[in-house]
A and B are shown apart, each in its own frame.
Chain A
Amino acid sequence: LAKTTQPISMDSYEGQEVNITCSHNNIATNDYITWYQQFPSQGPRFIIQGYKTKVTNEVASLFIPADRKSSTLSLPRVSLSDTAVYYCLVGDRGQSNYQLIWGAGTKLIIKP
């Protein structure tokens, strides 16, 4: 089963770029890497998804090296409202189950 590892917490300041790295050593060939954002007492919200190299959307970029054993979520010019928990998700197809494995999450705190 894939296992993900993320930093427990990070601090940054408004206007800075924030990079959060997730390790997933046993990612399967057909699996995608997805990042979610979660505010307190709310369900997670999709941020970005990728398979390899680089993906960019209107809110973030995702960098995935060739071996796909890690990924980095990049948030440009963060604001106070980006304070949240960020989760790295990989699909993991085991022998008989399809389990969606979430990391423990990174609590990002943005300071003024």
Chain B
Amino acid sequence: ETGVTQSPTHLIKTRGQQVTLRCSSQSGHNTVSWYQQALGQGPQFIFQYYREEENGRGNFPPRFSGLQFPNYSSELNVNALELDDSALYLCASSFVGGVEAFFGQGTRLTVV
């Protein structure tokens, strides 16, 4: 158990819809990162938030957006879903500047 929880665990959406994924960080951690992991591939960095501000972003289009709340929980929002967005979405929390991160179990998103 890492103390990082994600919801929901599984989700099925239709192409074109919007989705919100949630993450509750480990107590005391002020940085949260989101990753997309396609089947059989390594995690791909989406973005990172520190104290409610985005402080790093990977090569993902603007329809991927996020929020971090004062309690350090976080949301990942994806608009205009595409079939290729089907993946495991992972949230990881850490201390600022720390590379060691604690991952949640992920949300499996299927877009049909």
CB distance from A90 to the nearest CB of B (A): 8
Q: Does A20 contact B (CB under 8 A)?
A: no
Residues 9-31 of chain B: 1 if any A CB is under 8 Å from the residue's CB, otherwise 0?
00000000000000000000000
Neighbouring B residues of A98 by C-beta, 8 Å: 48, 55-56
Neighbouring A residues of B33 by C-beta, 8 Å: 100
**Which 6 A/B pairs are nearest by Cβ-Cβ distance?**
A43-B103, A98-B56, A102-B42, A34-B99, A100-B45, A105-B42
CB distance from B98 to the nearest CB of A (A): 9
Q: For the complex, what is the distance from the CA of A34 to the CA of B102, rounded to whole Å? A: 13
Residues of chain B whose beta carbon lies under 8 Å from any beta carbon of chain A: 2, 4, 33, 41-45, 48, 55-58, 88, 90, 92, 99-106, 108
Q: Does A71 contact B (CB under 8 A)?
A: no
Q: Is the CB of B100 within 8 A of A49?
A: yes
Cβ 8 A contact of A44, one of B45, B48, B57, B103: B103
Q: Is the CB of A34 within 8 A of B100?
A: yes
Cβ 8 A contact of B106, one of A43, A89, A97, A101: A43
Residues of chain A whose beta carbon lies under 8 Å from any beta carbon of chain B: 32, 34, 41-46, 49, 87, 89, 91, 97-105
Q: For the complex, what is the distance from the CA of A41 to the CA of B10, rounded to whole Å? A: 11
Q: Is the CB of A43 within 8 A of B58?
A: no
- Some 17 contacts from A to B, beta carbons below 8 A apart, are A41-B88, A41-B106, A41-B108, A43-B92, A43-B104, A44-B43, A45-B103, A46-B100, A46-B101, A46-B102, A49-B99, A89-B99, A91-B99, A98-B56, A99-B45, A102-B42, A102-B45
Residue of B whose beta carbon sits closest to that of A90: B99
Q: Is the CB of A102 within 8 A of B99?
A: no
Neighbouring A residues of B90 by C-beta, 8 Å: 43-44
CB distance from B90 to the nearest CB of A (A): 5
CB distance from A80 to the nearest CB of B (A): 22
